[in-house]
Structure 1
Amino acid sequence: MSIVRGAATYGRGAGAYARVGVESAVMSASPHQLIVMLFDGAQGAIRAARIHMQAGNTLEKGKSISKALDIVNNGLMAALDLEKGGEIAERLGSLYDYIGRLLLAANLHNDQESLDQAESLLDDIASAWREIGSAGAQG
């Protein structure tokens, strides 16, 4: 087996192992932990987008921002329960919508400031969400 084929095989194996790890974490996570995972994924995608934006890699920047948008719109936004959550859920929905618009602006205009603002807002919400989980676990 050549070194190149060995490296490719290792890469596929490592990727499969990572997917199984993520799938296992998702299957065993509480609803609260799933939301934390969504925040982590969105924040990671935004960090990757920033790196690609700074490197001038438009294609990968777009993919990373699309991933963050997908998580915000189809993960975080979709998880809101407007009936039970009332005004808080409505306000979070508006905030997620605004974050989505910031991400679109960042992608369209290579706007680092919009990307930073979207990340900052997500960080604030994620921090509050983690505190809620810590308080629930202690109490």
Structure 2
Amino acid sequence: MNRLALKQLNKAYQQDALETSVYGASPVGLIVMLYEGAITALRKAQGEIKQNNFIEKGRLIGKGLDIINGLDTALNLEKGGEVTANLRDLYQYMMHRLSMANLKNDLDILDEVVGLLETLMSAWKQLDKAQGGSERVGQV
């Protein structure tokens, strides 16, 4: 098999594995997957900054911003009360910081946001486990 065919098969397999994980995940598990996606994108953006590949860095930070914005948009302030309002403030803060990281090519800001996402993801993982959620979360 040639390289292009192998690459296409690998991509198709990854897409199928992702779809299976999404369909098998609990609602909280889906949130965990979104956090994982944002963290992965931002870690890759750090590597692109180190390699002076600023176009790809911008795309990856944009991906992280899109995910965090989606999480923010999904919040229900009427039902969630103070906790949800605090989470919204944190998402807004992270989006602001990511914009600054993108402008300044700042690895430390990316570390800060990744750390916040990892802390939040840990809490969501515990909630998912307590609710008997998907065991596949974290394996995508």
State if a TM-score over 0.5 links the two structures. yes
Aligned partner letter, 2:102: N
Higher CA-based Rg: 1
| Cα separation, 1, equivalents of 2:100 and 2:63 | 15
Deviations 1:74-108 (A, max 9, x none): 2x112212122111111101100100111111111
Measured on the aligned residues, the alpha-carbon RMSD in Å equals: 1.5
Deviations 1:5-53 (A, max 9, x none): x110110111011111111211221101000000100010111011111
Q: Of 78, 84, 91, which aligns to 2:79?
A: 84
Q: Of 10, 19, 23, which aligns to 1:23?
A: 19
Matched, 1:32 2:32: no
Question: What does residue 128 of structure 2 align with?
Answer: 133
Distance 1:78 1:43, change over 3 A: same
Question: What does residue 99 of structure 1 align with?
Answer: 94
> Which aligned runs of 4 or more in structure 1 are off by greater than 4 angstroms?
none
Higher relative contact order (CA 8 A, sep 6+): 2
Identity within the alignment, %:
41
| Alpha carbons 2:39, 2:114 under 8 Å: kept | yes
Per residue, is there more helix in 1 or in 2? 1
Q: Of 89, 94, 114, which aligns to 2:109?
A: 114
- Secondary structure in structure 2 of the residue aligned to 1:80: coil
TM-score norm. by structure 1 comes to: 0.90
TM-score norm. by structure 2 comes to: 0.89
Count how many residue pairs are aligned between Structure 1 and Structure 2.
133
Q: Which consecutive residues of structure 2, in runs of 5 or more, have no partner in the other structure?
A: 134-140
Matched, 1:9 2:1: no
Q: Which consecutive residues of structure 1, in runs of 5 or more, have no partner in the other structure?
A: none
Aligned partner letter, 1:25: S
Deviations 1:47-83 (A, max 9, x none): 1011111111101111110110011002x11221212
